A and B are shown apart, each in its own frame.
Chain A
């Protein structure tokens, strides 16, 4: 085991450290984490509207739905200010966290990336009519700010809220915001700033210091987005959405990608490397984006665009935490004759219900414990495979509501799938299989002297 640890420290840990210390990736992960209050509030609103509108509508309870209209309206307001504009919110948190990583004024960083994002989306509309409008109708439109020329009606100052501000705008915020953020940080770091005397209050001094870097960043992005749209006729957000975001998310829906991620996280955890932290940028930028797209589609009554999302890993592969250790604890209660394991299981079961498994990981321990290495990796792999195909074949609904990872098993899948009873059944099937995978190893551990593990 010592040789293995030395090998890990020599070859694996430096790679994980390298990934974990890339400031851009850390900022990306933190930018997604920072949006959590908005994503959770929006998800609660979508879930409540499922109770008050979607499900009653399915059963034809129109009277109830009508009576609940104000409640539905309030929930829709909350969704509009949170998940519906999650791309916009992320555009700010991205710049904020990026600037924070490089120790430059984060608020200005957030403003810079937010402004850059807004330059990438359409700001006007053009409607081509089949025939020219009567003068009275044209006057109504011109009075409201539109310009009418023959059969064409144009208006400026209208962001395509529905198409660009939600999850569809996330990659644009990352890329265009990244360009602006990098320029802002680079210029600030090189002191190409306006310096104020020490007597000026810090808030004013910081604002002045940000002027030159921010102006340059915005002008560069402004030039890029203007000429891009002028040359192609497409908004940058639409182009990035079609050529980068959509193909990447499509790739994430393959079994290979889901399996690879599961195996990597498990192996990292087993060797004492924070798996979901190191791979957080991938997990969040790909599968969380897919999940947010699903939640927004659910809120608007549209078909869910993605089958496998971020919460699927938590719900179907990591029941009780990474490695589905809750199932191991149950197996210990049933089969273990070792007092040390049973004691740990008693202490770890309560946090395990909320998917917190540090007491199990370090108490048994599982980390670097050769007895549990195989089931710790194999159980999630088998479980993720079953869940992936059950969802792909349409046996279980995809995630349409975002859940926090501490939500207990069964309840999490039931709520996350907008009350699809088949989801907790799938979790139960996975639980039985995971339990069966762990059981022989728990029985085998009965013959091991705990002191030999030290």
Chain B
């Protein structure tokens, strides 16, 4: 599981990562807890998966201006 601390544009983040399928990396939205969005992933390296998620969001025009954090859920 990875967690994103993202206060705004949560719906867009969920849509983006739910539909993400690149280089056999996928994410699935699991739950929302305040500003935290939890996603499961098919990757075993959660830090790398969090980095991929962050890059995918930053690559979007609406995501490039966001201030958020992506990391492996503990």
Chain A residues whose C-beta falls within 8 Å of the C-beta of B64 in the assembled complex: 17, 20-21, 277
Per-residue CB contact flags for chain B residues 15-32 toward chain A (1 = under 8 Å, else 0) read 000000000000000000
Judge whether A368 is part of the interface by a CB distance below 8 angstroms: yes
Judge whether B52 is part of the interface by a CB distance below 8 angstroms: no
B67 lies within 8 A of A13 (CB): no
- In the A-B complex, list the 3 residue pairs whose CB atoms are closest, starting with the nearest: A272-B7, A20-B65, A362-B5
Chain A residues whose C-beta falls within 8 Å of the C-beta of B9 in the assembled complex: 9, 13
B25 CB to closest chain A CB, in angstroms? 23
Chain B residues whose C-beta falls within 8 Å of the C-beta of A362 in the assembled complex: 5, 35, 68-69
Within 8 A of A (CB), among B58-74: 61-62, 64-69
A367 lies within 8 A of B5 (CB): yes
- Contacts from A to B (Cβ < 8 Å): 5, 8-9, 13, 16-17, 19-21, 268-269, 271-275, 277-278, 358, 361-362, 365, 367-368, 453-454
Chain A residues whose C-beta falls within 8 Å of the C-beta of B69 in the assembled complex: 358, 361-362
Question: Which DSSP category, helix, strand, loop or mixed, fits chain B's interface?
Answer: loop
Residue of A with least CB distance to B58: A274
Which of B61, B66, B69 counts the most A-chain CB atoms under 10 A from its CB? B66
B65 lies within 8 A of A8 (CB): no
A367 lies within 8 A of B34 (CB): no
**Alpha-carbon separation in the docked complex, A5 to B8 (Å):** 7
- Contacts from B to A (Cβ < 8 Å): 5-9, 33-36, 61-62, 64-69
**Alpha-carbon separation in the docked complex, A17 to B63 (Å):** 8
Chain A residues whose C-beta falls within 8 Å of the C-beta of B6 in the assembled complex: 272
Residue of A with least CB distance to B3: A362
Question: Which DSSP category, helix, strand, loop or mixed, fits chain A's interface?
Answer: helix
Chain B residues whose C-beta falls within 8 Å of the C-beta of A5 in the assembled complex: 7-8
A17 lies within 8 A of B65 (CB): yes
A454 CB to closest chain B CB, in angstroms? 4
Chain A residues whose C-beta falls within 8 Å of the C-beta of B68 in the assembled complex: 272, 362
A274 lies within 8 A of B5 (CB): no
**Alpha-carbon separation in the docked complex, A218 to B39 (Å):** 52
20 more contacts with CB within 8 A, not counting A13-B62, A21-B61, are: A5-B8, A8-B8, A9-B8, A17-B64, A19-B65, A20-B64, A20-B65, A268-B67, A272-B66, A272-B68, A273-B66, A277-B64, A277-B65, A277-B67, A361-B67, A361-B69, A362-B69, A367-B7, A454-B33, A454-B36
A272 lies within 8 A of B62 (CB): no
Chain B residues whose C-beta falls within 8 Å of the C-beta of A19 in the assembled complex: 65
**26 A-B pairs whose Cβ atoms sit less than 8 Å apart in the complex:** A9-B8, A9-B9, A13-B8, A13-B9, A13-B62, A17-B62, A17-B64, A19-B65, A20-B65, A21-B61, A272-B6, A272-B66, A273-B8, A273-B65, A273-B67, A274-B66, A274-B67, A275-B67, A278-B65, A361-B69, A362-B5, A362-B69, A365-B34, A365-B35, A367-B67, A453-B34
